[in-house]
Amino acid sequence: MRTTSYDGFGKLLVLADRKPAEDIGISDTSSSSHKIVVAVPDSIVDRSTILSLVASYGSSSATAWLEFDRYRQIKESSFPPVQGYLERKRFVFAWGDPLVSFPDALKPTAEAFIAWVKSRNLRPIWCCVDHKFEQVLVLSLGWSGVMCIHEEVLHPDHVLQLTSDKGKGRESIRLVKDLKNLRRATKAGVTSVEDRTEVGEGMLDWRRSKGLKGIQLASTTDQPWIDEEHRRYWVARSSLGHIVGVLLFTPIHGPHTYLIKNAISFPGSPRGISEHLIHTALQYIQADEKRLGFHITVTFGMTASEHTTFVDSNDNLKSGRPGKSGRSGWRLTSPSKVYEQVAKGAGLLKRGEFRAKFDSEREEMYVCYPEDGLGLSGVKSLLAVLKK
Q: DSSP characters for 36-78?
A: EEEE-TTB---HHHHHHHHHHH--TGGGGGG-TTTEEEE---S
pLDDT tens track, the chain, 388 positions: 333 333 333 455 555 433 222 222 222 323 332 222 333 333 334 666 767 766 666 666 666 656 655 545 544 445 678 888 888 888 888 988 988 878 888 998 999 999 999 999 999 999 889 999 999 999 999 998 888 888 889 888 888 887 776 655 454 444 444 333 333 444 433 333 456 778 888 888 877 776 645 444 444 555 777 777 788 888 888 877 788 888 989 888 777 899 998 888 888 887 788 888 888 899 999 999 999 999 999 998 887 777 778 776 665 555 444 333 334 444 444 455 655 655 555 555 566 677 777 888 888 889 898 877 677 777 777 666 555 4
Same domain for 332 and 380? yes
Same domain for 380 and 256? no
142 domain-assigned: no
Report the C-alpha gap between 265 and 247 in whole angstroms.
9
CA nearest to 301, candidates 95, 125, 157: 95
319 domain-assigned: yes
Q: What length does the chain have?
A: 388
Confirm if 221 and 388 have CB atoms less than 8 A apart: yes
pLDDT score of 159: 83
Same domain for 169 and 83? no
CA nearest to 147, candidates 340, 356, 352, 304: 304
Domain boundary (294, 313, 344) is at 294
pLDDT score of 287: 92
pTM: 0.66
Same domain for 20 and 124? yes
CA 222 vs. chain centroid, Å, equals 13
CB neighbour list of residue 33: distance below 8 Å, 6 or more residues apart: none
Same domain for 36 and 105? yes
1 domain-assigned: no
111 domain-assigned: yes
In degrees and rounded to multiples of 5, residue 184 shows phi and psi of -170, 160
Side chain identity, residue 44 = I
Q: Where are the alpha helices (DSSP H) in the chain?
A: 47-57, 106-119, 131-135, 156-162, 193-211, 273-292, 334-345, 348-356, 375-386
Same domain for 253 and 279? yes
Report the C-alpha gap between 199 and 204 in whole angstroms.
9
CA nearest to 67, candidates 289, 221, 211: 221
Side chain identity, residue 118 = K
70 domain-assigned: yes
CA dihedral angle for residue 22, residue 23, residue 24, residue 28, rounded to 10 degrees: 160
Same domain for 338 and 371? yes
CA dihedral over 220, 222, 226, 228, signed as positive or negative: positive
> Residue 176 carries which DSSP code?
S
Side chain identity, residue 312 = D
The continuous run of DSSP H or E covering 28 comes out as: strand 26-29
How many domains does the chain fold into? 3
pLDDT score of 70: 54
CA nearest to 362, candidates 121, 159, 174, 151: 151
For residue 223, the domain's CATH number is 3.40.630
Report the C-alpha gap between 366 and 104 in whole angstroms.
20
Domain boundary (294, 324, 341) is at 294
CA 90 vs. chain centroid, Å, equals 23
pLDDT score of 194: 52
145 domain-assigned: no
Q: Taking CA 65 as the corner, what is the angle to CA 60 and CA 67, rounded to the nearest 5 degrees?
A: 120
* 155 burial level (CB within 10 Å; 0-12, 13-18, 19+): buried
Same domain for 310 and 287? no
| Residue range(s) defining the domain that contains residue 310 | 299-386
pLDDT score of 279: 86
Same domain for 81 and 21? yes
Q: How far is CA 276 from each of CA 270, 280, 296, 376, rounded to the nearest angstrom?
A: 11, 6, 19, 41
Same domain for 235 and 260? yes
Report the C-alpha gap between 175 and 53 in whole angstroms.
34
CA nearest to 314, candidates 323, 306, 303: 323
Same domain for 83 and 184? no
pLDDT score of 140: 93
CA 252 vs. chain centroid, Å, equals 10
CA nearest to 69, candidates 9, 25, 13, 12: 9
Which residues does residue 162 pair with via DSSP β-bridges, in sequence order?
none
Same domain for 186 and 275? yes
pLDDT score of 132: 92
139 domain-assigned: no
149 domain-assigned: no
In degrees and rounded to multiples of 5, residue 321 shows phi and psi of -150, 155
Domain boundary (294, 314, 336) is at 294
